[in-house]
Amino acid sequence: MKFADLTDLFERISTTTKRLEIRALLAEHLKGVSEQDMAPMVYLLQGQLRPEYEGVELGVADSLARKALASASGASEEKVRAEASRSGDLGTTAEALLRSQGKAGGGAPLALLDVYRELKEIAQASGEGSQETKIDRLSKLLLKASPTEAKYLVRFTLGKLRLGVKEMTVLDALAVVYGGEEPRKARTVIEGAFNVTSDLGEVASTLARTGDLEALARLRAKVGKPIRPMLGEREASLKDVLERMEGRAALEYKYDGLRLQAHIPSAEGAPVRLFSRRLEDVSAQFPEIVRELPGALTVRPAIVEGECVPVDPTTGELRPFQEISRRRGRKYDLERFEEEVPVRFFVFDVLLAGEEQVLSLPYPERRERLERIVKLGDRVQLATREVVDQVPEAERFFQQALTDGCEGVMAKSLAEGSSYRAGARGFWWIKYKREYTHELADTLDAVVVGAFWGRGKRAGRYGALLVSVYDAQEETFPTLCKVGTGFDDATLESLTKQLRDKQVESRPEEVLSTLTPDVWIRPTLVLELRGAELTLSPIHRAALGRVREGYGLALHFPRFTGRVREDKGAEQASTTEEVVRLYQTQVRRAAEETSSEGTELKDTPPQRPAEPPPKGPF
């Protein structure tokens, strides 16, 4: 195939923005493309050299392209710059300059594959002298190109092709060409193959080679090629969730972190790769996960999916998602951040285990496989889950998830057809989150009733404290939360000393707690805390039964403000009455914001999809 055939297609496509017209032009063109040319053509069409997840970039800056163009056209760099700022597009300038100077073309037509190879060489040039190499190669290529070819070459190298050909349009066009009588059915098969490989070039060239849709069904998930993630729907209540799942579902903690798809190759020492939800390679940002994963799995190669969440290293408690963003996109100082923002990887699915494509198994079998192959370690853990068939059970699990620092639950269908639907959003997974995520306006003054010994660098000191509010009616101290955040090491050291003579052998009678800390402490010391919100808790005892039978209230994401309330005795700590009032205000505020369509809410109450799908998790 000639490169000019592709640039002709570009010219035609650039005259329209209508998806149907683009599809028709593309389909017409695709019919004649050979197997060899197919993948490069599909990549170039999208302004890429390789599938997007590989992140291959040409590394050609404006200044570099201007130099190459000046050299190819014989115009001075000043002239190229002036013309480009007039036209606003260096591609158009390239076309005009080459045309007016009559320099371009003339020789043998450029072959698509030669251009593709040359562009790859340009992309690969790196290190010392690479800029000169890039300029030299590009200018030679431009010398051989026609004015129209040069226009697109320049736009391509600058990453400004912008033809508006979306992946989905290419899939549509392939379905028209290879779908025979049933393009709709073909479209589903083709998209399915794309979802598993994330590589349009591979899908298109497989079709060009075999002309057979069946061949696509044989494309397999492979280590190193990210699978497009399965996504969940929402429901308005846990009752609706259970109904949708025909009365029984697995509930998993919905961790609030970063979704990672981990690819672990079979060869010893071969690199583990981590892909984000958007299929970017983020392996470099989580070196400790990369290190630990090979030893955490009994089977290789493997592809597992999970959520990467910041944790408090001394208590193991989950931390707010925002903390992980400090590590995202980082190139330097990774070791420091590994220590400062430690993370844990909670795996929730397995897509490849050894040679077996686990992807197509129903969820219960995948989960069972996952439990079998994961060796729990410090950084790799399984997502907490429970199978439920009653609403109260589901509620209790949901509240427990919140108490443990999660944002809700992910319900997973146990049905026969609950295979991993790569790239699809459906009712096989249903998310159910807490409805408000405000920072509590008020601080709370809580009294220390127990402590947990720290680990790691906090060894020998308290790592977290168990704190209570005061129930003035009963004259008791029911627990409100466990708090390990907001203390610097010096404070923890001094608190440990200060509280030493307040330690007691067993739970003081007036303290109400279902948790047993490492040491019990007589309620005397009051600390000021902040938190995200108050939540119902099956564990903490503050205001037990006041909002809901069997539940207390807990402070979510608590942190010490740094203020020890030396002016307050234990009985002056915040009371259960105050906590109940605060909870009610919070609920009221959430309701008000919802009714006035408060866009601030992270996740407004789940809405039903426009067209309710049929019963069962379809």
Please, what is the minimum distance in Å from the beta carbon of residue 189 to ligand AMP?
25
For ligand AMP, give the closer residue by CB, 170 or 430: 430
Stretch that binds ligand AMP, among 248-256, 391-399, 477-485, 523-531 (CB under 6 A): 248-256
Interacting residues of 497 by C-beta distance below 8 A, sequence separation 6+: none
- Give me the catalytic one of 254, 431, 433, 482: 254
Please, what is the minimum distance in Å from the beta carbon of residue 58 to ligand AMP?
31
Interface with ligand AMP, residue 383, by CB under 6 A: yes
Stretch that binds ligand AMP, among 50-58, 173-181, 254-262, 578-586 (CB under 6 A): 254-262
For ligand AMP, give the closer residue by CB, 260 or 272: 260
| CB-based contact 420:360 (threshold 8 Å) | yes
Please, what is the minimum distance in Å from the beta carbon of residue 26 to ligand AMP?
31
Among positions 67, 134, 187, 254, the unique one binding ligand AMP when judged by CB under 6 A? 254
Distance of CA 349 to the CA centre of its chain: 14
Q: How far apart are CA 148 and CA 4, in angstroms?
A: 8
Interactions with ligand AMP, residue window 152-211 (CB under 6 A): none
For ligand AMP, give the closer residue by CB, 29 or 421: 421
Please, what is the minimum distance in Å from the beta carbon of residue 374 to ligand AMP?
14
How many residues form the binding site for ligand AMP (CB under 6 A)?
12
For ligand AMP, give the closer residue by CB, 253 or 560: 253
Closest CA to 388 of 517, 243, 232: 243
Please, what is the minimum distance in Å from the beta carbon of residue 258 to ligand AMP?
7
Among positions 337, 348, 428, 436, the unique one binding ligand AMP when judged by CB under 6 A? 348
Among positions 59, 109, 183, 232, the unique one binding ligand AMP when judged by CB under 6 A? 232
For ligand AMP, give the closer residue by CB, 156 or 348: 348
Q: What angle do CA 127, 130, 134 make, to 5 degrees?
A: 150
Instruction: Tell me the backbone φ, ψ of residue 346, rounded to 5 degrees.
Output: -95, 105
Q: How far apart are CA 524 and CA 68, in angstroms?
A: 76
Closest CA to 467 of 419, 520, 425, 416: 520
Among positions 149, 307, 312, 317, the unique one binding ligand AMP when judged by CB under 6 A? 307
Percentages helix, strand, coil for the chain (3-state, rounded to 5) are: 40, 20, 40
Q: How far apart are CA 173 and CA 25, in angstroms?
A: 9
Q: Does the CA dihedral 288-290-291-295 come out positive or negative?
A: positive
Among positions 259, 396, 546, 563, the unique one binding ligand AMP when judged by CB under 6 A? 259
Name the token pair of 547: 């909002």
3 state SS of 264 = strand
For ligand AMP, give the closer residue by CB, 253 or 286: 253
Q: How far apart are CA 319 and CA 324, in angstroms?
A: 9
Q: How far apart are CA 573 and CA 469, in angstroms?
A: 6
Stretch that binds ligand AMP, among 250-258, 280-288, 333-341, 367-375 (CB under 6 A): 250-258
For ligand AMP, give the closer residue by CB, 255 or 487: 255
User: What are residue 302's DSSP bridge partners?
Assistant: 264, 353
Q: How far apart are CA 530 and CA 81, in angstroms?
A: 57
Active site (annotated) includes residue 254: yes
Q: How far apart are CA 186 and CA 224, in angstroms?
A: 26
Stretch that binds ligand AMP, among 55-63, 164-172, 253-261, 482-490 (CB under 6 A): 253-261
Please, what is the minimum distance in Å from the beta carbon of residue 98 to ligand AMP?
48
Please, what is the minimum distance in Å from the beta carbon of residue 500 to ligand AMP?
40
Among positions 79, 99, 277, 568, the unique one binding ligand AMP when judged by CB under 6 A? 277
Name the token pair of 107: 């020789």
Name the token pair of 61: 């800056």
Closest CA to 528 of 565, 489, 579: 565
Using CA atoms in the order 573, 579, 581, 585, what is the torsion angle rounded to 10 degrees? 120
Among positions 116, 156, 255, 398, the unique one binding ligand AMP when judged by CB under 6 A? 255
Stretch that binds ligand AMP, among 215-223, 247-255, 533-541, 607-615 (CB under 6 A): 247-255
Among positions 37, 199, 202, 252, the unique one binding ligand AMP when judged by CB under 6 A? 252
3 state SS of 501 = coil
For ligand AMP, give the closer residue by CB, 252 or 435: 252
Q: How far apart are CA 431 and CA 241, in angstroms?
A: 9
Interacting residues of 524 by C-beta distance below 8 A, sequence separation 6+: 447, 448, 502, 569, 570
Interface with ligand AMP, residue 344, by CB under 6 A: no
For ligand AMP, give the closer residue by CB, 105 or 257: 257
Q: How far apart are CA 193 and CA 217, in angstroms?
A: 7
Please, what is the minimum distance in Å from the beta carbon of residue 409 to ligand AMP?
8
Please, what is the minimum distance in Å from the beta carbon of residue 384 to ligand AMP?
8
* Residue closest to ligand AMP (Cβ): 259
Please, what is the minimum distance in Å from the beta carbon of residue 601 to ligand AMP?
13
Closest CA to 225 of 275, 174, 294, 284: 275
Q: How far is CA 378 from CA 31, 338, 369, 570, in A?
A: 54, 14, 20, 37
For ligand AMP, give the closer residue by CB, 369 or 431: 431
Q: How far apart are CA 461 and CA 457, in angstroms?
A: 9
Please, what is the minimum distance in Å from the beta carbon of residue 278 to ligand AMP?
11
Q: How far is CA 197 from CA 52, 53, 200, in A?
A: 11, 10, 8
Over the window 108 to 147, marking each residue x when it contacts ligand AMP by CB under 6 A and - when it does not, the resulting string is: ----------------------------------------
| CB-based contact 292:378 (threshold 8 Å) | yes
Interface with ligand AMP, residue 423, by CB under 6 A: no
Name the token pair of 199: 């590589």
Among positions 244, 263, 300, 431, the unique one binding ligand AMP when judged by CB under 6 A? 431
Residues with a known catalytic role: 254
- In the complex, the residues that contact ligand AMP under the rule CB under 6 A are 232, 252-255, 259, 277, 307, 348, 383, 410, 431
